[in-house]
């Protein structure tokens, strides 16, 4: 099995060195850079399996860099985890909406970070056991194999987690899915709160524009994709 490569982007040398040591001890191969200036050059040359991104950096911050990464077709499914000391709910929402797949607040236990990385990577590596048809509803089309989403023929750019949530809702449209079920299917059983699921759902609805309201909240239970 090939070694998992993690790219660390953080402007503080001490943090870069600490993360490199922690992740290498956990069996990952690590490369670290200090800013976004060489990000795309490094992505191309290093071809990482995962990016750990600091939230606040001089110049282009983490949220802006995540958005830039998601604008490139080659990297729209590249797993990205924010690792930061910024714990505010608004900051977390901004990071998730721009395309981060998870958000880890310092201080953290090395084992926790490693577990979150592996959980996100498992979601990337999961392949359907057999070819699945394009999932469709009210002008919305999700191609599971090519990992593309279109609405009325226009591509919609989703994070990996949002794609997983939407796919699950469409596979079982008309049925109510609990937050626990969505956590299991889309977040790999990460120890995340209901609020995190709700944040992903709010971002997904926003990106789906006119179809956003097709995702219905069933109070006290979960979410359902309405039938059309």
Instruction: Give the pLDDT confidence of 63-117 residue by residue, as tens digits.
Output: 788 888 888 878 878 899 988 777 667 777 777 777 788 888 888 888 888 988 9
d(CA 163, CA 187): 11
Please tell me the least confidently modeled range out of 27-36, 74-83, 125-134, 159-168. Answer: 125-134
Q: What is the pLDDT of residues 139-171, one digit of tens each?
A: 999 998 788 999 999 999 988 788 889 999 999
Lookup: tokens for 104 = 């880890």
Quick one: pLDDT at residue 28?
94
Question: Greater confidence, 199 or 223?
Answer: 223
d(CA 141, CA 114): 34
pTM over 0.95: no
d(CA 127, CA 221): 28
- pLDDT at 180 > cutoff 90: no
User: Scanning the structure block, which residue is given the tokens 């079920």?
Assistant: 181
**Could you tell me the pLDDT band of residue 199, with boundaries at 50, 70 and 90?**
confident
**Could you tell me the pLDDT band of residue 215, with boundaries at 50, 70 and 90?**
very high
Quick one: pLDDT at residue 9?
94
Q: Give, rounded to a whole angstrom, the gap between the first and last alpha carbons of the chain.
A: 44
Quick one: pLDDT at residue 132?
62
Lookup: tokens for 90 = 């608004």
Lookup: tokens for 223 = 């979410």
- Under the phi-then-psi rule, with left for phi > 0, alpha for psi from -120 to 50, and beta for the rest, what region is 168? alpha
Residues 6+ apart with CB under 8 A from 14: none
- Displacement of CA 7 from its chain's centroid (Å): 15
Question: Greater confidence, 8 or 146?
Answer: 8
Mean pLDDT of the chain: 85
Question: Greater confidence, 34 or 184?
Answer: 34
d(CA 90, CA 178): 24
Quick one: pLDDT at residue 129?
47
Residues 6+ apart with CB under 8 A from 165: 182, 185, 186, 200, 201, 204
Quick one: pLDDT at residue 97?
72
Quick one: pLDDT at residue 6?
96
- Under the phi-then-psi rule, with left for phi > 0, alpha for psi from -120 to 50, and beta for the rest, what region is 16? alpha
Please tell me the least confidently modeled range out of 1-5, 17-21, 143-147. Answer: 1-5
Count the Cβ atoms, other than its own, within 10 Å of residue 186: 22
Mean pLDDT score, 120-143? 77
């Amino acid at each position: 099995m090939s070694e998992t490569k993690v790219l660390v982007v953080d402007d503080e040398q001490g943090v870069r060195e600490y993360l490199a040591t922690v992740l290498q001890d956990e069996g990952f191969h690590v490369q670290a850079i200090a800013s976004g200036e060489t990000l795309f050059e490094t992505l191309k040359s290093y071809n990482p399996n995962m990016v750990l991104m600091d939230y606040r950096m001089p110049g282009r911050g983490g949220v802006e860099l995540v958005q830039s990464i998601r604008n490139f077709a080659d990297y729209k499914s590249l797993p990205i985890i924010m690792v930061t000391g910024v714990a505010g709910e608004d900051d977390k929402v901004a990071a998730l909406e721009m395309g981060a797949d998870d958000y880890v607040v310092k201080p953290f236990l090395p084992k926790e970070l490693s577990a979150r990385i592996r959980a996100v990577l498992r979601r990337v590596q999961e392949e359907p056991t057999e070819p699945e048809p394009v999932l469709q509803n009210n002008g919305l089309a999700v191609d599971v194999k090519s990992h593309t989403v279109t609405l009325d023929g226009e591509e919609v750019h989703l994070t990996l987690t949002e794609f997983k949530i939407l796919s699950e809702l469409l596979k079982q449209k008309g049925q109510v899915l609990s937050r626990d079920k969505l956590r299991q299917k889309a977040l790999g059983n990460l120890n995340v709160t209901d609020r995190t699921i709700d944040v992903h759902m709010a971002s997904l609805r926003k990106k789906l524009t006119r179809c956003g309201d097709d995702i219905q909240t069933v109070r006290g239970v979960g979410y359902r994709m309405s039938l059309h």
